[in-house]
A and B are shown apart, each in its own frame.
Chain A
Amino acid sequence: MIRHIKPALGIFALLTLLLGIAYPALVWAIGQTTFNNQANGSLVYVNATPVGSSLLAQSFHGAMWFHPRPSAVGYSGNASGASNLALGNPKLIIQIDKLATNYRRENGLANSTPIPADAATESGSGLDPDISVANAQLQAPRVAHARSISLSTVDSLISRATTSSPSYFFGTKVVNVITLNLELKRLQMR
């Protein structure tokens, strides 16, 4: 056994240098030079100050903003993850009911109004930046009213923030809450 240890140490040291330092350094260099924006977190800016990442949901409260999907971990960015509640767990149904009630209250909807499932379920990452188009449209009147802008202005912002990624395979078009709220912010600052 002892005679196997020396080569093990030698090869381990070499591979650690190659795979733990040289390789990540190469990928880092390519990222910083060629894909700078993506490699640094797809940041979005207001007046050259970073205000978030277009890939990570943020906390938005109040009538002025579109709200992202509920999160099991908050939107601080220091944590990520799902509720891991099972479909057969009564807690899940109670939680969905609660989230649905909140959503209807916030948006002034009647109890009988059906709402899209993404509005009352917690996302997988806890940082899902997207909501469904139906979800955005239900929030639009509230936002338009609170900001005293026309509904058609808000609707056109929604369609600009809608991604037509290849997920059309499955009929899911999604609206990025970060880019959408950023547009609202820019409109407000004009």
Chain B
Amino acid sequence: MINSTIIPLLIMAALIMAVAPFLGRYIYRVFADDQIKKDTKLNKLERNFLSRIGIDPLAEQSWKAYALSLIAFSTVSILFIYLLQRIQYLEPGNTNHLHAVPPALAINTAVSFVTNTNWQNYAGESTMTAITQTLGLAVQNFVSAAVGLSVAIALTRGITRSRRNTIGNFWVDLMRSTTRILLPLATIFSIVLLSQGVIDNLVISRCITTIAGGKQCIPGGLVASQEAIKELGTNGGGYFNANSMHPFENPNFLTNFLEVYSILLIPFSLPFTFGNFAKKRREGITIFAVMLILWASSSLLLLHFETSSNQLNLAKTANLTAVTSTKVLPEGQDLRISTPSCAIFSASTTATSTGAVNCSLDSLEPAASGVALFNMMLGEVSPGGVGSGLYGILVFAILAVFVSGLMVGRTPEYLGKKIQGAEMKLITIYLLISPAAIMIFSAFAVILKTARTAVGNPGAQGLSEIIYSFVSTGNNNGSALAGLSSNTDFYNITQAINMVIGRFGLIIPVLALAGALVSKQAIPQGPGTFATDKPLFASILIATIVLIVGITYFPVLALGPIVAHLSLGH
């Protein structure tokens, strides 16, 4: 296993460890109480604007008000994106003569981008106008990530504050997430992408006579600006159908590496932000370590499954030779990206809520795409989406504390906050609501003939395609086993409902949890307190995450990827 293919993985891990503590610290300073209250120029500008639209920027909100603001904002977003798609045929510059997006697809897409899922039942280049992409979808790439980040900060405040009623101001958090974290990072990253060949122009499509005298229409668009936030905001919705396989989105090895890095950077920084809020560095480091271990394990596992199998044997009659050091069939892979990079990308995109792809997951070794599926089933906490990764793992941490507390017969507490019935009820809702929706929709899809015939590959892989689509939408990931032709009314609508449940069905319990915890008195640590900043707790946390997922999903994992893998017979 120790060979050159893990070098980029090691470099990736080293670069994350080098930068995440500093970015985490910076993010803490963006949201710290004293920083928000300071009278800096930028703060005054921000307050000035917020008061004009009827928000008191220095007044904090209860969890209920915070949640209502968040829902109001998301509703406005969904309606706007829906309308934009429906009227896009009227837009100036629609020289491709694209039609209005059909209603069911437009609902699916609007929900998909607002919930940070970016599942795509359409091909960007032939469905969405430049204005729909840039003014609609790309904006959601920022703000859906900012919403996730705000919720993570609100929960952090809930855990680390003592005897208060408020968890922050949603509008202030949203503004600061966007303008002080995502926007500067996206600007820098888009310039790097530009320098490497990611396009950014106002040409819709430039048709030319090719070298051999044929015709080709070279696509255009404001791609670099969207590509940068697509990764940084763990969104994953491609400008083009081929997503990060398209040479205009991911032109070379360097952009490929940096795209993975920018997917992972913010989610891996947030545990440090948490540690700063708690004024206990080690608590943050423990969470970070758990995320890193889970991410590295899944990357290694996916890399192993994809690169160690002799796929050339499957096509014996064609008598093929390997083009890399591995015996992989590069079906669905571009050569400049190479198989090991595809493995690391696929693991990272499903360990976060990104869902961008740089190779066809459907054509991977089934066990490898099974690892991607498992990553999403973990609830995307390794390191997870921007914000959603942190609040997800904190929910698991509280659960782990509770389970450990039961075993030794002590009242469980996390950072001095007693974990009681009210909190556990919310956590139970959080853990069950999304898997329940995923399983129910998958069951319907398997039963209904119209839904079943959408699969692109026979046998167990076909079942995997269906399960994958609901696990992906339910966890707001957006990657697909894309053989599934899911641009049908059934999938458009069920996936949209599934995405709403997977996003707001989790955010509301998390905010309620923040509200329940924030009013509690933090009890000072005693000699009997179960330490949550030690390797022992990290191991219990990993076990909790993996066991919960294992119990929930093992049967479908067995019937889908495991059967598909075994039936290949190698």
Contact = CB atoms under 8 A, between A and B. Distances in A.
Interface of A: 1, 3-12, 14-16, 18-21, 23-24, 26-28, 30-32, 34-35, 38-43, 46, 49-53, 55-56, 58-62, 64-65, 69, 75-90, 92-93, 96-97, 99-100, 111-118, 120-132, 134-135, 163, 165-167, 169-172, 174, 178, 181-182, 185
Contacts of B362: 82, 84-86
Contacts of B52: 10
Contacts of A84: 332, 360, 362-363, 456-457, 481-483
Interface residues of B, number: 127
A11 B242 contact: no
Interface in B128-178: 134-136, 138-139, 142-143, 171, 174-175, 178
Contacts of B459: 88
Interface of B: 4-5, 7-8, 49-50, 52-55, 65, 68-69, 71-73, 75-77, 80, 123, 125-126, 134-136, 138-139, 142-143, 171, 174-175, 178-179, 183, 186-187, 190-191, 194-203, 205-206, 208-212, 214-220, 222, 224-226, 228, 240-242, 245-248, 251-254, 311-312, 314-315, 317-325, 328-341, 358-360, 362-366, 456-461, 481-483, 564, 567-568
A81 B245 CA distance: 8
Contacts of A50: 206, 208, 218
A81 B135 contact: no
B143 A172 contact: no
A153 to B, nearest CB: 18
B254 to A, nearest CB: 7
A27 B319 contact: no
Given A40-B203, A75-B216, A130-B336, A55 B251 contact: yes
Most chain B CB within 10 A, of A35, A41, A56, A64, is at A41
Given A14-B49, A31-B201, 14 more contacts: A18-B178, A19-B142, A51-B210, A52-B218, A56-B218, A82-B245, A86-B461, A97-B315, A117-B328, A118-B330, A121-B333, A132-B323, A169-B4, A172-B323
Contact of A172 (B76, B251, B317, B335): B335
Contacts of A123: 245, 330, 332-335
A125 B142 CA distance: 26
A125 B564 CA distance: 25
Closest 8 CB pairs of A and B: A10-B53, A80-B242, A4-B72, A124-B245, A82-B360, A55-B247, A82-B332, A100-B318
A120 B359 CA distance: 17
B212 A134 contact: no
Contact of B217 (A23, A78, A100): A78
A171 B7 CA distance: 13
A23 B225 CA distance: 8
B209 A51 contact: yes
A117 B320 contact: yes
Given A124-B332, A131-B335, A53 B201 contact: no
Contacts of A114: 319-321
14 contacts: A6-B53, A15-B142, A19-B183, A31-B194, A40-B203, A60-B212, A76-B217, A79-B123, A84-B456, A85-B332, A86-B456, A88-B567, A96-B315, A165-B336
Given A117-B312, A130-B334, A7 B55 contact: yes
Nearest to B200: A31
A58 B564 contact: no
Contacts of A82: 242, 245, 331-332, 359-360, 362-363, 482
B175 A41 contact: no
Contacts of A64: 212
Contacts of A169: 4-5, 7-8, 338, 340
Contacts of A120: 315, 318, 320
Given A41-B201, A78-B219, A125-B247, A20 B320 contact: no
Given A28-B200, A39-B200, A89-B458, A8 B72 contact: yes
Given A127-B246, A131-B335, A19 B178 contact: yes
A57 to B, nearest CB: 9
Contact of A58 (B142, B178, B212, B320): B212
Contact of B197 (A42, A85, A111, A118): A42
Contact of B211 (A21, A58, A163, A171): A58
Contacts of A35: 194-195
Contacts of B317: 93, 97
Nearest to B183: A23
A40 B219 CA distance: 10
Contact of B76 (A12, A51, A90): A12
B73 A11 contact: yes
